[in-house]
């Protein structure tokens, strides 16, 4: 079987929630990115599952995804860890396992930072503060792990576009169709820059 051009792992952000497809289901940034990369739908695999944590990705998605030996891997996961039973050590270990396993294959691997989701959630202020501390820790950890493993980081947390209300659905957790388009465009630019650097080298 031919290796897929693009494989994505993660949670509902990867699944495509917030970007409904004609006829049901979701389109999402993964399918949109595949189109921008000129890939046939058969060359794109999406393992994203609503509610997935980093532990679930390691256990349920990583083995099949790694064995596929894709050319490009996209991973977005961690928010479900941060808003539930958060264990900082487990979080860091799981990210290291995911990114290390995928980059060891020689593929281009990218992920994204965590934007200020707590700002949009209908939660008490004291819990919002706790969540923001967790998100800050998560971004620091993500920066370190991606550097250590050679994973490309799309830093959407630092981009003003991701603070716009129209980029998100009403639940504050999932990107709107505009958000999915924005993410796919950013990922395509990131992949193009990595490819250009590799060719130049």
Residue-wise pLDDT for 25-73, tens only, equals 999 999 999 999 999 999 999 999 999 999 999 999 999 999 999 999 9
What's the pTM? 0.94
DSSP H helices in the chain: 12-15, 28-36, 54-56, 62-68, 79-82, 88-103, 125-149, 177-200
CATH superfamily of 6-200: SGNH hydrolase (3.40.50.1110)
Bridge partners (DSSP) listed for residue 43: none
C-alpha span between 74 and 94 (Å, rounded): 16
C-alpha span between 102 and 178 (Å, rounded): 29
Lowest mean pLDDT among 120-124, 139-143, 161-165: 120-124
- Distances 169 to 48, 125, 156 between C-alpha atoms, Å: 18, 21, 17
């Amino acid at each position: 079987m031919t290796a897929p051009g693009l494989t994505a792992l993660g949670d509902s952000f990867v699944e495509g929630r917030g970007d409904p497809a004609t006829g049901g289901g979701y389109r999402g940034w993964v399918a949109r990115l595949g189109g921008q990369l000129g890939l046939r739908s058969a060359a794109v695999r999406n393992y994203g599952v609503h509610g997935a944590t980093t532990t679930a990705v390691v256990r349920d998605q990583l083995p099949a995804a790694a064995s596929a030996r894709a050319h490009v891997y996209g991973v977005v996961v961690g928010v479900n860890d941060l808003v539930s039973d958060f264990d900082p050590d487990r979080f860091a270990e799981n990210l290291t396992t995911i990114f290390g396993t995928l980059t060891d294959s020689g593929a281009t691997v990218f992920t994204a930072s965590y934007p200020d989701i707590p700002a949009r959630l209908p939660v008490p202020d004291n819990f919002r503060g706790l969540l923001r501390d967790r998100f800050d820790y998560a971004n620091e950890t993500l920066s370190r792990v991606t550097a250590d493993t050679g994973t490309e980081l799309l830093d959407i947390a630092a981009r003003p576009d991701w603070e716009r209300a129209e980029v998100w659905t009403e639940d504050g957790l999932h990107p709107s169709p505009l958000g999915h388009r924005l993410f796919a465009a950013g990922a395509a630019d990131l992949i193009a820059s990595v490819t250009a650097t590799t060719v130049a080298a």
